Amino acid sequence: MGVRATNMGKIASIDLGVEHLSVGLVDAATQRMKVVYRERGNDPGFMRRVFKVLDGAGRLDGIGISSPGTIDMNKGIILGCPNLKIRNLPIVERMRDRYGVPVSLLNDAIAGVMGEKFYGAGREESNIAHIKFGSGIGCGVIADNRVLLGKDGNAHEVGHYVINPFSTLKCSCGKFGHWEAYCSGRGIPNFVKYMLNGKYSHARSSLRQKKQLVAKDLFTAAKKRDKVALDVLKVVGMINAMGIANVINSYDPELITIGNSVVLENEDAILRPIIKDVGKYTVNRVPKIIVTPLDYRLSLYGAVSDFL
Ligand SMILES: [Zn+2]
């Protein structure tokens, strides 16, 4: 944070996702962003591809990076992201050495809430939460117009809120009963398998035929009125309402936006049960809850908001 320069021209933004990699270029004068590179999937060779895109981008005046996993924001290091096979990557130094410009690193959900505040639905609001439903579940918060970062920039690991103390479903962190074990992109297929082998072990379901279950299969099967899929989706909806209620009770935001792949591919199926049930679990007044209008570009905007 606090990276700022004058007479800016073009700022590069990198959104490093577990399931995607995007690069944008922002004209500092107009603040217009052009997404110049986007790929689905990701692998450890991503740095080479980012370099290739940026090498051909002309003169840069700054680079903002949005990263999943755990970061040390002050040292500019991605400490760990098992899904990307990253450990202790000094990404800020690598970028600075190559391009000789200021570089900043933000947690992806925090980049998300900054994107919402400066370019999205939260421009008029002082208290905003953004919740990402990607391979995990993360949250960024602006409270009283201040971005809450935490000591290393990893504030709001809400995906590991406990929503079921009796759970035997293992979370990606190795512990039990966490929100993202049920409702994230990686959690949903595990939860479906858990239910097919448990409560629904004798039930017929099209989901049983899938060799490599992915989150999307649940939503597709529910659309086709598969009974197991409809029941599981109902539980996912209820747990999402609980998780979001915890965020409302913690931070009292006036706006919550939700985004990333699980939401953007299934907007109505995710949003509707949250709106319907969140009030059952809140003590604070329920805020406006919407899908982010900046879709997949949200963290790209947020990652460079510090420069503009
Ligand atoms: Zn967990």
Residues in the chain: 308
- Are residues 190 and 68 both part of a single domain? no
CA of 235 to the centre of ligand 1 (A): 18
The reply to whether 227 and 285 lie within a common domain is yes
> Is the Cβ–Cβ distance between 133 and 139 less than 8 Å?
no
280 three-class SS? helix
How far away, in angstroms, is 108 Cα from ligand 1 center? Answer: 17
Query: 29 lies in a domain?
Result: yes
- Do residue 284 and residue 137 come from a single domain? yes
What distance in angstroms lies between residue 22's CA and the mean position of ligand 1's atoms?
A: 26
User: Alpha-carbon distance 30 to 80, whole Å?
Assistant: 35
> pTM for the full model?
0.93
Provide the pLDDT for residue 31.
Answer: 87
The answer to whether residue 5 is domain-embedded is no
The total domain count for the chain is 2
Give distance in angstroms: CA of 263 to centre of ligand 1: 20
How far from each other are the two terminal CA atoms of the chain, in whole angstroms?
12
Could you tell me if residue 114 is inside a domain? no
Among candidate residues 227, 294, 232, the one with its CA nearest the CA of residue 258: 294
Domain containing residue 251: CATH number: 3.30.420.40
Q: Give the tens place of pLDDT for each residue, 197-221.
A: 999 999 999 999 998 999 999 999 9
Confirm if 133 and 259 have CB atoms less than 8 A apart: yes
**Cα(260) to centroid(ligand 1), Å:** 19
> Is 137 in the same domain as 100?
no
DSSP line for 204-240: --GGGG-SS--HHHHHHHHHTT-HHHHHHHHHHHHHH
Ligand 1 mean position, distance from CA 101 (Å): 36
Q: State whether 158 and 274 are in the same domain.
A: yes
Which pLDDT value is given to residue 90?
Answer: 96
CA distance 6 to 11: 12
CA–centroid distance, 252 to ligand 1, in Å, is: 23
* C-beta of residue 175 within 8 angstroms of C-beta of residue 160: yes
The pLDDT tens digits of the residues spanning 270-306 come to: 999 999 999 999 999 999 999 999 999 999 999 999 8
User: How much distance in Å is there from the Cα of 272 to the middle of ligand 1?
Assistant: 25
Structural domain boundaries enclosing 198? 121-292
